[in-house]
Structure 1
């Protein structure tokens, strides 16, 4: 049981993230988080004005984890190998927390959540930095980055929906082949 004086944003988001991963974002409520923490729901209002702000905090935390994890794997790596690591790592991390992925990439409108959008931009900027050396201009770089993201997120979404479960080709094999193809397209145009 967490004492009210020992409450923190971190403790609340950790408990909320646990609930989202177990039951989905639709089941997230202050009362359920409070039950996990052993406090009254009203105690959480000092940290979050409402459930939407809690969801945004969870999304920001998730996006920051993704970016930090990928950045760590990219230390000392460049070129095609860096693009491969970025794609494989993002794919793996998104599938490892399917409910958080659903929340982060379907639970809010980033146009109306400027703070969350800034954290998403950090992840996107990392990819764009990896692609930029292979492009002639900003427009080409944006198009190549969108293609890359569409591949990763498309595969993740199809896997989360279960659309690859009866295929004779394992989803991971198909993803790796498609990623290699997209990276080849991006790097050969330079």
Structure 2
């Protein structure tokens, strides 16, 4: 591959490509694919942990942008359902990247990444507030949705929810519906 002009954005993009192909995004693997030497990447990322944090931030930023587009004009239950469906879909579209993000330790997330996580959580809490005015309910709704989304990504991604009788997507939507129905009757 011919030499490229490096940038942090191009390095992150190449790292994501490696992740999606089930390869470890090490400096040497990235540099090899980009036609350069691994030492050249240190200009952009001080170490592997900093790169991992940047990949985390990129992935969450992409999810955040997708959610904002998909949720525009929605509130209440439809918005909560769409939030869950979008997170599930994005996670399953690139299961390896989703696993990478889910396994990124908090200590590798810089202030910008922390803010992105806070913003995503804030968005979910706003949606929950349109469904219930009780703070405790909002927190429990948000936690339950995160658990269902992460569980779905892990289990479907591992092939554990493959059953021709009920599709994984249908069962996910039914679980969300059943959960929200119990809240409205409780």
User: Residue in 1 aligned with 2:15?
Assistant: 16
- Per the TM alignment, residue 165 of structure 1 is displaced from its structure 2 partner at its CA by 2.0
Give the superposition deviation at 1:114. Answer: 4.4
Checking the alignment, whether the CA contact within 8 Å between 1:66 and 1:90 is kept in structure 2 is yes
- 1:10-89 to 2 correspondences below 5 Å: 10-24=9-23, 27-89=24-86
Match of 2:97 among 96, 100, 122: 100
Alignment partner of 1:134: what SS? Answer: coil
Alignment RMSD, CA only? Answer: 1.9
Question: 2:48 & 2:115 partners in 1: Cα distance?
Answer: 20
Deviation of 1:140 after TM superposition, in Å, equals 2.5
Match of 1:110 among 106, 110, 132: 106
Say if 2:172 is the partner of 1:175: yes
In structure 1, the residue matched to 2:160 is 163
**Using the alignment, how far apart are the partners of 2:64 and 2:185 within structure 1?**
27
Q: What TM-score, normalized by structure 2, do the two folds share?
A: 0.90
Structure 2 spans left out of the alignment, 5+ residues? none
Change (3 A) 1:94 1:134: same
Give a deviation string over 1:24-70, Cα, whole Å, max 9, x none: 4xx22111101111111110000001111111101100001001101
For 1:127 and 1:59, the matched residues in 2 are separated by 19
Q: Aligned with 1:39: secondary structure?
A: coil
Q: Distance in 2 between matches of 1:63 and 1:114?
A: 13
What is the SS of the residue equivalent to 2:130?
helix
Please state whether the residue corresponding to 1:151 is helix, strand or coil: helix
Checking the alignment, whether the CA contact within 8 Å between 2:49 and 2:108 is kept in structure 1 is no
Q: Give, in angstroms, the shift of residue 112 of structure 1.
A: 5.6
How many residues end up aligned between the 2 structures? 184
Please list, as runs of the form range in 1=range in 2, the aligned pairs for 1:121-132 lying within 5 A after superposition.
121-132=118-129
**Structure 1 residues 168 and 189: CA distance shift in structure 2, 3 A:** closer
Unaligned runs of 5+ in 1: none
